[in-house]
C-alpha cells in the first residue's frame, strides 16, 4: 500500500492539486484518538494513510469540461414589492427560445420555483446565509421541462433554512408572512411558493416536500399542493435532505392547474436514482378531470388523523364535514382506523440522523447514490462547520440531537426506522386495499402565529415541527398526498388531505377537482 502513489501514476492519473496528501504523526495520532484507537501506533500508519490520501486526490483528474458561465438577469425585489417576504429573487426566463414552447402545455403559465432548485446563472440560498453567494451553472431537470413547454420562470421563492421547518419563521431572509393574516405563518418549508400562488402573483409554483413542505404551506395559505409518489418527478438538480424522503411537486390555485403542471413534471430522466420504480409513461392527468361524479369511489376518513394533541376542533369538524360531503357526488365515505398512523411521528424523529448525515456530515453528498451533486455547492456547504451559529434553532436542535443519539446509540434508530417504515407502508396499503382514498386534515391546525424575535429554541423548534403530524408519514411510505382548501376558521384556511395508492395521482385529482367544483371553501 505504501506504493499506492506509484500505482496511480502508472495508471495515468495525475496528482490532485487541491489537497495536501502528507500528514504528520501528531495529526494522525489525534485522528486515531478520536476514533478510539491507540495513538501510540500512529507512526506505523503514516505511509499507508498518505498513500490513500494520494489516491483520493487523484480523483481530481476526472473533471467536467469547463462550460461557459450562464448569465441570466435577476433582481432582488424591494420590500414594497415583496410585502410578504415571499420572493428571494425575481426573473423573467421565458421558454420561447426552446423548440415547441410557444404552443406547449404550459404556454403562458407564470411559474415560481422554490429556492432549493438549481436555476443556472441565478443565486441559490436555500434559506441559509451559509450558501449565500452560490450561483449554480445548470438548471434542474424540471426547469428544463417547464421551459420546453412554454412556461416563464418569474422568480425564486424564499424557503426555510435548509428546508427544515413546517413554519415560515426560519429563513435567513426573515419570516414569510401569511397572506390571510401577516401575523401568522405561511407554512414551510415551501413558504414563499405557497404565498405567491395564494396572492395570485403567479399561476403556479414548485415546492419540495420531505415532511409536508408542499402540503403544509398549501394548507396554511389556502391553495392546492401535491406531493406526488416518490420518484414520479425527477429530483435532479434540486437540493434535498435525504434521497429516501425527497419529493418535488406543483402548488397551484386549482386542482386542474395542478394536474396540468404535473403532466410536464412527471417522468423518468435517466439520472435520478429515486425513479427506480417509476412508470415509463406519465399519465395525462388533466384528462382525468372530466368525470361528472365520484360514483364507485370509496373514501376512508382516518380516525387517527383527528383529535391529536395539537388539533383544533374547528379544523377537525371542517375536514370531516368536507369529506362527508363527497357522498353528494356519489362517493361512499366511511370511517376507518389505521392505528400505526398515530405512531408515524416516531419515524420522522428516528430518521433525523439520516437527514443530518446527508446534509451536514456529508456536506450534501449522497453517499453511495449515483445522483450528481454540484461540487461548487458542496464547497459552499462545507463552510457550515465554521459558521454553525448562523443556523436557526430548529436546525441546531436536529444536529445536536443526532450527535447525542450517535454517541449513545450509534445508528440503530435508523435501522429501526427503516423497519418501521415498512410496517407503516403496509398499514396504509392494507387500508387502501379496501378504499380508494384516505382523508384527514392536512395540518391539525390553521396557520400558527409567527414567533417573536428572540424566541426560545423550544418555541422555534416546536413551531417548525408541529404542522407535520399528519403529513410526514407519507414522505417515508411514498404514497401520493394532496392538500385542498376546504374551509376557513377565524379567517385562516383549512386544508383537507387526500392520500392514494402509489402512482394513483389521477384518482386524487378526480376527487379533489369535483370537491373544488362543488364547494367554495371561502364560504364554508
Asked if residue 92 lies in contact with residue 121, where contact means CB atoms within 8 angstroms, the answer is: no
- Burial class from Cβ neighbours inside 10 Å (0-12, 13-18, 19+) for residue 41 reads exposed
CA–CA–CA angle 185, 186, 187 (5° rounding):
90
Separation CA 468–CA 512 (nearest Å): 21
Cell of 203: 399561476
Nearest-Å Rg of the Cα atoms of the chain is 24
DSSP secondary structure code for residue 238 in this structure: B
Separation CA 147–CA 13 (nearest Å): 40
Query: Which of 189, 191, 358, 448 is an active site residue?
Result: 189
Sign of CA dihedral 39, 43, 48, 53: positive
Count of other CB atoms within 10 angstroms of residue 95:
25
- Burial class from Cβ neighbours inside 10 Å (0-12, 13-18, 19+) for residue 365 reads middle
Query: Which of 185, 191, 213, 358 is an active site residue?
Result: 213
Which has the closest alpha carbon to 497: 86, 218, 127, 134?
Answer: 218
Separation CA 265–CA 142 (nearest Å): 6
Separation CA 137–CA 149 (nearest Å): 21
Helix (H, G, I), strand (E, B), or coil: what is residue 107?
A: coil
Which has the closest alpha carbon to 203: 259, 276, 253, 134?
Answer: 253
Is residue 101 annotated as part of the catalytic site, yes or no? no
Strands (E), 27-85: 74-75
Q: Do the strands 332-336 and 110-114 form a parallel or antiparallel pair, or are they unpaired? A: unpaired
Cell of 62: 476526472
Count of other CB atoms within 10 angstroms of residue 456:
11
Cell of 265: 413534471
- The rounded Cα 507 to chain-centroid distance in angstroms is 23
Separation CA 93–CA 103 (nearest Å): 17
DSSP secondary structure code for residue 278 in this structure: -
Is residue 189 annotated as part of the catalytic site, yes or no? yes
DSSP secondary structure code for residue 364 in this structure: T
Asked if residue 94 lies in contact with residue 151, where contact means CB atoms within 8 angstroms, the answer is: no
Query: Which of 105, 114, 156, 380 is an active site residue?
Result: 114
Q: Which residues are catalytic?
A: 114, 189, 213
Amino acid at each position: 500500500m505504501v506504493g499506492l502513489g506509484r500505482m496511480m501514476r502508472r495508471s495515468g492519473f495525475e496528482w490532485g492539486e487541491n489537497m495536501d496528501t502528507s500528514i504528520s504523526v501528531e495529526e494522525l495520532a489525534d485522528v486515531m484518538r478520536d476514533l478510539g484507537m491507540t495513538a501510540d501506533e500512529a507512526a506505523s500508519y503514516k505511509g499507508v494513510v498518505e498513500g490513500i490520501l494520494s489516491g483520493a486526490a487523484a480523483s481530481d483528474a476526472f473533471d467536467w469540461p469547463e462550460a461557459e458561465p450562464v448569465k441570466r438577469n435577476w433582481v432582488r425585489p424591494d420590500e414594497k414589492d415583496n410585502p410578504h417576504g415571499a420572493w428571494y429573487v425575481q426573473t423573467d426566463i421565458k421558454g420561447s427560445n426552446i423548440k415547441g414552447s410557444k404552443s406547449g402545455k404550459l404556454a403562458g403559465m407564470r411559474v415560481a420555483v422554490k429556492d432549493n432548485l438549481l436555476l443556472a446563472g441565478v443565486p441559490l440560498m436555500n434559506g441559509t446565509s451559509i450558501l449565500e453567494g452560490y450561483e449554480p451553472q445548470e438548471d434542474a431537470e424540471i426547469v428544463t421541462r417547464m421551459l420546453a413547454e412554454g412556461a416563464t420562470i418569474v422568480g425564486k421563492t424564499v424557503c426555510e433554512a435548509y428546508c427544515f421547518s413546517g413554519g415560515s419563521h426560519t429563513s435567513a431572509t426573515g419570516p414569510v408572512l401569511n397572506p390571510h393574516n401577516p401575523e401568522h405563518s405561511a407554512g414551510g418549508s415551501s413558504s414563499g411558493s405557497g404565498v405567491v400562488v395564494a396572492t395570485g402573483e403567479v399561476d403556479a409554483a414548485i415546492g419540495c416536500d420531505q415532511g409536508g413542505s408542499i402540503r403544509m404551506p398549501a394548507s396554511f395559505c389556502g391553495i392546492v399542493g401535491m406531493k406526488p409518489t416518490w420518484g414520479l418527478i425527477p429530483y435532479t438538480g434540486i437540493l434535498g435532505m435525504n434521497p429516501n424522503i425527497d419529493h418535488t411537486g406543483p402548488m397551484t390555485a386549482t386542482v386542474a392547474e395542478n394536474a396540468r403542471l404535473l403532466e410536464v413534471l412527471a417522468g423518468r430522466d435517466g439520472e435520478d436514482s429515486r425513479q427506480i420504480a417509476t412508470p415509463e409513461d406519465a399519465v395525462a392527468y388533466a384528462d382525468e378531470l372530466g368525470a361528472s361524479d365520484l360514483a364507485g369511489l370509496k373514501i376512508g376518513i382516518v380516525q387517527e388523523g383527528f383529535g391529536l394533541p395539537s388539533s383544533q376542533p374547528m379544523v377537525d369538524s371542517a375536514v370531516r364535514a368536507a369529506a362527508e360531503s363527497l357522498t353528494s357526488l356519489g362517493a361512499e365515505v366511511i370511517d376507518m382506523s389505521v392505528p400505526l398512523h398515530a405512531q408515524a411521528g416516531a419515524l420522522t424523529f428516528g430518521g433525523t440522523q439520516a437527514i443530518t448525515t446527508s446534509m451536514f456530515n456529508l456536506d450534501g453528498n449522497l453517499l453511495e447514490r449515483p445522483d450528481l451533486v454540484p461540487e461548487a455547492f458542496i464547497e459552499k456547504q462545507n463552510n457550515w462547520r465554521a459558521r454553525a451559529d448562523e443556523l436557526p434553532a430548529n436546525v441546531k436542535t436536529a444536529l445536536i440531537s443526532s450527535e447525542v443519539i450517535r454517541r449513545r446509540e450509534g445508528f440503530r434508530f435508523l435501522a429501526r426506522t427503516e423497519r418501521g417504515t415498512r410496517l407503516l407502508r403496509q398499514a396504509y396499503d392494507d387500508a387502501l386495499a379496501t378504499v380508494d382514498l384516505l382523508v384527514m386534515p392536512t395540518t391539525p391546525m390553521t396557520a400558527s402565529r409567527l414567533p417573536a424575535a428572540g424566541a426560545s429554541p423550544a418555541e422555534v423548534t416546536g413551531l417548525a415541527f408541529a404542522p407535520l403530524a399528519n403529513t410526514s408519514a407519507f414522505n417515508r411510505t411514498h404514497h401520493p398526498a394532496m392538500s385542498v382548501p376546504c374551509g376557513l376558521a377565524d379567517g385562516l384556511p383549512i386544508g383537507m388531505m387526500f392520500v392514494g395508492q402509489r402512482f394513483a395521482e389521477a384518482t386524487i385529482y378526480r376527487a379533489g377537482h369535483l370537491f373544488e367544483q362543488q364547494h367554495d371553501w371561502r364560504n364554508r
